[in-house]
Structure 1
Amino acid sequence: MKINIQVGDVLKVAADVLISTANPWLNLSGGVNGAILSAVGPTIQDELHAYLKSHAISAVPAGTVVRSRAGNLPFDCILHAVAIDPFYDSSIELVRKTVVSALDLAIRAGAKTISTPTLATGYGPMAIADFGTAVAPLADNPKFDEISFTIVVRSEDHLSELANAISVARVQA
């Protein structure tokens, strides 16, 4: 898998699929989710709440990935990745598991290009470097060889921190 890192707005990075942060209640309440709600209106929020209702649940477990339409955003779909638990806790292992699930779902959807913010680093407890440590081993997984994976961060400092963490983790693997 080719990993790219860039500074910018993840909603403006054209890709087949966006992996978005999500909370267990699938509420588009802040961060990237809030930006999705602002850009698209309530249709995606309604779709996510309909998912919960159709499964007769009020929340999904950590590690769950739920697919929705993308509205007017430049993606074929959005994969809402829950890389936190209900207490907003997370771990490198949970983030890795969640990203693998999202990548598998993206591949099944025919995606070749995927963009994502760093999961579990906004409202979640993890550092940008932790996200890098979580995803670095996936670059060498042959089942992801055909994917271009773009991680979008908000600053040059985050870009440097993430790039360094990915490099270190790949050397240690």
Structure 2
Amino acid sequence: MRIEVVQGDITEQHVDALVNAASSRMRGGGGVDGAIHAAGGPAVLEDCVRRFPDGLPTGRAGWTTAGDLPARWVIHVVGPNRRAGQTDRGLLTSCYSGALAVADELGARTVAFPLVSAGIYGWPLDDAVDAAVETLRATPTDVEMARMVAFGAEAYELLVRSTT
């Protein structure tokens, strides 16, 4: 699998599946989660409610329709909230490996990822980048291209350095 790095808006990526850094409630929120729900329209939330009535635990992944987004599916992952004391790096890496497993189940060959937990959840940016890149490289998958979508110049530069 090749890893691409772009700086931009994950909701504008033309891929088979977008990865959403979701809250455990799976009902939308701020950051990437809010942007994906806003751009995807009500179909994303309706599918979340139907498929995940009790939400998802931290570290897990599940999928819904992408609604109005330029992708076929949204793969929702619940990253650890470091600010709330969730410091187990395994929960973070399981978001990436779990998203790839879901992508394989769906037959997705191109997937766009945000840096999970690196925003409001407070995971240190350098370790969030390392966890993402290490896990994507180490996880067996049929996904052909993983696009890391950086929101900001610092994340972009760290991702570029980690993938070249």
Q: Is the 8 A contact 2:4 2:147 kept in 1?
A: yes
Q: Is the 8 A contact 1:92 1:131 kept in 2?
A: no
Distance (whole Å) between structure 2 residues aligned to residue 30 and residue 129 of structure 1: 22
Please point out which of 140, 145, 148 is paired with 1:143: 140
Q: Is the 8 A contact 2:115 2:149 kept in 1?
A: yes
Q: Is the 8 A contact 2:96 2:136 kept in 1?
A: no
Aligned to 1:156: 153
Distance (whole Å) between structure 1 residues aligned to residue 33 and residue 43 of structure 2: 13
- Normalised TM-score (structure 2): 0.87
Aligned to 2:105: 108
Distance (whole Å) between structure 1 residues aligned to residue 159 and residue 126 of structure 2: 5
Name structure 2 gaps, 5 residues minimum: none
Task: Give runs of aligned pairs for residues 35-54 of structure 1, distance below 5 A.
Answer: 35-53=35-53
**Superposed displacement of residue 142, structure 1:** 6.6
Q: Is the 8 A contact 2:81 2:117 kept in 1?
A: no
**Superposed displacement of residue 51, structure 1:** 2.5
Q: C-alpha offsets along residues 16-46 of structure 1, whole Å, 9 cap, x if unaligned? A: 1111100111121111221122223322112
Q: Which moved more, 1:115-124 or 1:136-145?
A: 136-145
**Superposed displacement of residue 85, structure 1:** 5.2
Q: Is the 8 A contact 2:97 2:136 kept in 1?
A: no
Distance (whole Å) between structure 1 residues aligned to residue 153 and residue 120 of structure 2: 20
**Superposed displacement of residue 88, structure 1:** 7.1
**Which of structures 1 and 2 has the bigger CA Rg?**
1
Q: C-alpha offsets along residues 124-145 of structure 1, whole Å, 9 cap, x if unaligned? A: 1112222221122234437236
Q: 1:139 to 1:117 in 2, by over 3 A?
A: closer
**Superposed displacement of residue 119, structure 1:** 0.3
Name structure 1 gaps, 5 residues minimum: none
Aligned to 1:6: 6
Would you say 1:69 and 2:60 are equivalent positions? no
Q: Is the 8 A contact 2:5 2:147 kept in 1?
A: yes
Please point out which of 60, 63, 73 is paired with 2:56: 60
Q: Is the 8 A contact 1:89 1:124 kept in 2?
A: no
**CA-based RMSD:** 2.3
Aligned pairs, how many? 163
Aligned to 2:24: 24
- Normalised TM-score (structure 1): 0.83
Distance (whole Å) between structure 1 residues aligned to residue 60 and residue 145 of structure 2: 22
